[in-house]
Each structure stands twice: as C-alpha cells, then as structure tokens.
Structure 1
Amino acid sequence: MSTSLTPGQKGLLETALLTQRSRLEAELKLQLGGEDRVTHAREQLLQDTDGETAHEADREVDLARSDATLLALRQVDAALQRLQEPDFGHCADCGAAIAFERLRLSPQVTRCIECQSAAETRGGGAHHATL
C-alpha cells in the first residue's frame, strides 16, 4: 500500500469528485424545485383520494431524499477540500494509507477498511465514515 497518492491519482479522484458533485447538484435542484417535482406534486394532489395523509407521506419521502442528497453533496465538498491537504488518503483513525482502489470507488471516505469496519461494529455507522 502506497503511503501517498501520486499527482495523477489525486487528479483522477478530483475529477471523480467534481463529476459526482455535478450529478448531486442536478439531483438536488430537481428535488427542491425542478419542473419534475412540480408536475409530480400536482399529479399527487389530483390523484389523492386519502386527503392529506398520502400527500404528507409523499412529502416526507421527498424531504428524506433531499436530505440524503444534501448530505452526500456536503461529503463530496469536504473531500474536495481535504484533497488539497498533504495527508489526504490517510485514515482519520489510524493514519494508515487508504488503498487507492477504495478511494477510487468512494473518494469521500476518511477511514481505511479496517477502521471503518471497527466503527460500524462499535455503532459508528457508515455515514460517519465520510464526514
């Protein structure tokens, strides 16, 4: 396992993060006010035979989806900031280098596989791994 990332590897990770950020921003835009959302809301109101209950449930799902997208976007932005640091790619818990293949698949991770597994076992959960 390498102790530091090459400039080429960092470039690949930056490109992947920027692509992911663009996708998440577009997704969030649709979720928070795109035409598709307005059309969907109008259809739900017209088809709603159970009154407010179905509408509220649909809104809760939309809000949860938007929250998840916003969290993912924050994680990507944090990873882009960390990418500029010399210790990017090292585990936040043990300091060991994170395998490039792991970073390539999920550049926003902050833990090596061993520390991530230990955190999940302790109840730290997967969402804390990327914060």
Structure 2
Amino acid sequence: MSTALTPGQKGLLETALLAQRQRLESELALQLGGTDRVTHAREQLLQDTDGETAHDADREVDLARSDATLQALREIDAALQRLQDADFGLCADCGGAIAFDRLRLSPQVTRCITCQSATESRGGHAHPATL
C-alpha cells in the first residue's frame, strides 16, 4: 500500500517538523542556561546549600521539563527519519492512511485516529508521538 501523501504535503510536514525542532532546541537552551544537561544538573545540585524543600521541588520540575523537551526532540527526529520512508503517513497498526489534517497538526504521530482510540480504550498509554 502506498501513502496518499504528495511530495508537497511531505514538504509541508518536513517544514513543520523542522520549525518545531528549532523551537524546542531554543526552549532547551533556555532551560539549560547554555550548558549541557549534566552540567546544568550539577549546577542545580550545588545551589542546594541549605536543603530547602522548595528548591528541591524546583530542581525536579526543571529537570523533568528538560527531559520532556529532549523526548519531544527525539520524537521529531524519528518523524523526520520516517518522513523519508515511502510508507510515511501510514498507520503503524492497520497500515491505512493517516489523515493529512492529523499529520499536519502532529507530524510525529504513527497511528490513525481509529487505531489510536482503540489503543487508548484498551488501556494503552497515549504516548505523545502516537496521539
């Protein structure tokens, strides 16, 4: 089965993914203050001289936020890789075409809405890349 996506549609999705990636990279740079994640975590730990619970909570939120941003970047990179495949835009579960409007909203999805709904109703986790 071949994808119903035209080269133009794939181009639009690639542009959207690259723009998302650039935005997330900028967001991550702001979160980390221009350092790598390990250095940033170490700096956060060294700032915790008085053991304040609020500071511990802030540090955990900060690290969780950068983890989420890194995960989103990995999902975008994976989508950019899949975009080069002939079957990009086909549902990973049923093989049917994923609606272009769905892909346009979230180019990293891997399931059509029907299969995603079925996965969620079975108690499957709604991973952001499959929404």
Task: State TM-score, norm by structure 2.
Answer: 0.82
Report percent identity of matched pairs. Answer: 80
Question: How far 1:69 sits from its partner (Å)?
Answer: 0.6
Partner Cα separation in structure 2 for residue 93 and residue 86 of structure 1: 16
Partner Cα separation in structure 2 for residue 30 and residue 92 of structure 1: 35
Deviations 1:14-71 (A, max 9, x none): 0000000000111111112249xx9xx99xx7xxxx8521110000001111111111
Q: Which has the higher helix share?
A: 1
Match of 1:126 in 2: 126
Contact 1:97-1:112 at 8 Å conserved across structures: yes
Contact 1:110-1:130 at 8 Å conserved across structures: yes
Q: Moved runs in structure 1, 4+ residues, more than 3 A? A: 128-131
- Please, what is the CA RMSD of the aligned residues? 2.5
Question: How far 1:3 sits from its partner (Å)?
Answer: 4.1
Deviations 1:83-121 (A, max 9, x none): 000000000000000000000000000000011111112
Matches within 5 A, 1:8-27: 8-27=8-27
Match of 1:97 in 2: 97
Match of 1:81 in 2: 81
Partner Cα separation in structure 1 for residue 51 and residue 128 of structure 2: 38
Partner Cα separation in structure 1 for residue 3 and residue 75 of structure 2: 23
Contact 2:75-2:129 at 8 Å conserved across structures: no
Unaligned runs of 5+ in 1: none
Task: State TM-score, norm by structure 1.
Answer: 0.82
Partner Cα separation in structure 1 for residue 63 and residue 122 of structure 2: 29
Partner Cα separation in structure 2 for residue 59 and residue 104 of structure 1: 35
Match of 2:29 in 1: 29
Unaligned runs of 5+ in 2: none
**SS at 1:126 equivalent:** coil
